[in-house]
Amino acid sequence: MATIKYRELKRRYDLDGAQKTVAHLSEALAKKELRADDFSIRDLAEALVPNGSQWVRELNPSVGSLTESFQGVDVSAFATIAGQLIYSRILEAYQSEVFCLSKLISTIPTRLNGEKIPGFSSIADEAVEIEPGSAYPNVGFSEDYIETPETTKRGLIVPVTREAVFFDRTHVVLARAGEVGETLALNKEKRVADMILGVSNLYQWNGTSYSTYYAAGSSSPWVNLLSGNPLETVENVDAAENVLASALDPNTGEPILSEATAALVSPAKRRIANVLLRGSNLRCADGTLSSIPNPFEKLAVVSSRIARRQLAKANASASAETLDNYWFYGDFKKAFAYMENWPITVSVSSAGSEADFSQDVVARFKASERGTPAVLNPRCVVKCVG
């Protein structure tokens, strides 16, 4: 456990100001030089609040309300530093490796509440050749476009009560902060999972809503659903690769230039997926190893219990074996995105709020994020069903 020099922290805050102090503390927390658990919110209050020791003593519930001399005391320095500790714990939980699907897709910052993203007008590849003295052709936006869903805001509040400061319940406050980060991340992960799985069909192309996945058929706008293809042999991977390679740009008729970067599998199939895709040599259907290098060796193998649970909820009558034979293959960052108005953010309530009087809340920290999953190009991922 690191030793926190609270007087030095107070001196730095007074000399450098809140912004530089928080930046320095944030860097130390990010580098693991300090941990949120190393701090005491009572010691922080005593160091950063004017006449802090007396102020903390008068937080004792048995004393009653604060004396008049301490009404309106400036707790901004304490709230700012405590907020950084709470933010670090929220972020740590929010970025847990358990929430792997959110990292599998692209994150696109946006200032809009739902976007209309135009495509580019297509030019035949023959037109790229320029005769002497001829003008270069222009490339512009076309009528081809996709529309992303409206974004939604989600958030929770972490309160710090008088009792939490006086009795130094730092671990309780940080535990609540971790629960907030986990809850917000879980909510986002489930929405992303439903999009990738095809439970939520979010693709809006040229003003028309489409399902994310289609099997081969005369009326299918594209093909990226392959039935009867469980992940068991390299031939199953080849079948998914062939579907991906056959995808054509609807405007140019040319192959879509995307390469598979990952396979999303059920946790029950993670071992066989690693054997098939991560080995240095290609494993044949009969179980033998070929002498040629494995072309899929650099593919990421991702499994998600959250995705498995969302799939089970959407297919309540399906057996466990059937659910475990769903797998997805392709370039997930080209196919899917999270349109993000703002990432996980923590703000501090102003001092002297109604909650201070009615609930003995010294400070409140609000964590929120706003965004929505969006399908960019479903042709870049293949859904396989056993």
- 79-89 average pLDDT score: 92
pLDDT in tens, 5-47: 888 888 888 898 888 888 888 888 888 899 999 999 999 999 8
Q: Which of 58-62, 68-72, 102-106, 119-123 has the lowest mean pLDDT?
A: 68-72
Comparing CA positions, the residue from 179, 181, 173 lying closest to residue 37 is: 173
- In the DSSP assignment, the letter for residue 178 is H
CA distance 234 to 231: 8
The rounded mean pLDDT for the chain is 87
Residue 63 has pLDDT above 80, yes or no: no
Structure confidence at residue 70 (pLDDT): 45
pTM for the predicted model, two decimal places: 0.88
Counting every residue written for the chain, the total comes to 386
Q: Which region among 89-103, 271-285, 339-353 has the lowest average model confidence (pLDDT)? A: 271-285
Task: Map residue 138 onto helix, strand or coil.
Answer: coil
253 Ramachandran zone, left/alpha/beta (phi>0; psi -120 to 50): left
- 139 belongs to a structural domain: no
CB 36 within 8 A of CB 88: yes
135 inside domain: no
Query: What is the band of 69 on the pLDDT scale with cuts at 50, 70, 90?
Result: very low
Residue 121 placed within a domain = no
Q: What is the C-alpha to C-alpha distance for residues 258 and 275, in angstroms, rounded to an integer?
A: 24
pLDDT mean over 60-66:
59
Is 86 domain-assigned? no
Plot region of 206 (φ>0 → left; ψ -120 to 50 → alpha; else → beta): left
For residue 15, what are its two tokens?
């000399």
CB 305 within 8 A of CB 96: no
pLDDT digits (tens, 9 = 90+) for 227-278: 999 998 888 999 999 999 999 988 778 888 888 999 999 999 999 898 888 7
Is 311 among the domain residues?
yes
Q: Cβ contacts of residue 140 below 8 Å, gap of 6+?
A: 120, 121
DSSP SS3 for 353: coil
Residue 65 lies in a domain: no
Give the N- to C-terminal CA distance of the chain in Å, as an integer: 51
Question: pLDDT band for position 58 (50/70/90)?
Answer: confident
Q: Does the residue 95 lie in any domain?
A: no
Residue labelled with tokens 């289609």 = 214
Percent of the chain whose predicted confidence (pLDDT) is above 70: 86
Tell which residue, 106, 109, 103, has the closest CA to residue 370: 109
Instruction: State the DSSP code for 255.
Output: B
Distance CA 244, CA 278 (A): 20
Q: Per-residue DSSP letters for 78-105?
A: HHHHHHHHHHHHHHHHHT-TT--HHHHS
Q: What is the pLDDT of residues 176-210, one digit of tens each?
A: 999 999 999 999 999 999 999 999 999 999 999 99
**Domain annotation covers residue 248:** yes
With the CA atoms of 209, 371, 32 and 46 taken in that order, what torsion angle do they form, in degrees rounded to the nearest 10? -160
215 Cβ neighbours under 8 A, 6+ residues apart: 223, 225, 226, 227
CB 153 within 8 A of CB 368: yes
More confident residue, 298 or 146: 146
pLDDT tens digits for range 103-125: 999 999 999 999 998 875 455 55
Q: Could you tell me which residue, 314 or 284, shows the higher pLDDT?
A: 314
Distance from the Cα of residue 374 to its chain's centroid: 13
Tokens for 77? 């320095």
Position 213 confidence tier, pLDDT thresholds 50, 70, 90: very high
Task: Please give the biggest Cα pair distance in the chain.
Answer: 92
Residue 229 belongs to what domain range? 211-339+374-384
The total domain count for the chain is 1
- Interhelix angle 41-48/76-94, nearest 10 degrees: 150
Buried/exposed 31-45: b ≥16 CB within 10 Å, e otherwise? eeebbbeebbbbbbb
pLDDT of residue 21: 87
Q: Is the pLDDT of residue 283 over 90?
A: no
Rounded to an integer, the average pLDDT of 272-288 is: 71
- For residue 23, report the phi and psi dihedrals to the nearest 5 degrees: -65, -45
Query: HSE (CB half, 13 Å, CA atoms) of 145?
Result: 12
Residue 160 pLDDT greater than 80, yes or no: yes
- Short-list 346, 22, 291, 88, CA closest to 283: 291
Spatial distance between the Cα atoms of 187 and 173, rounded to a whole number of angstroms: 21
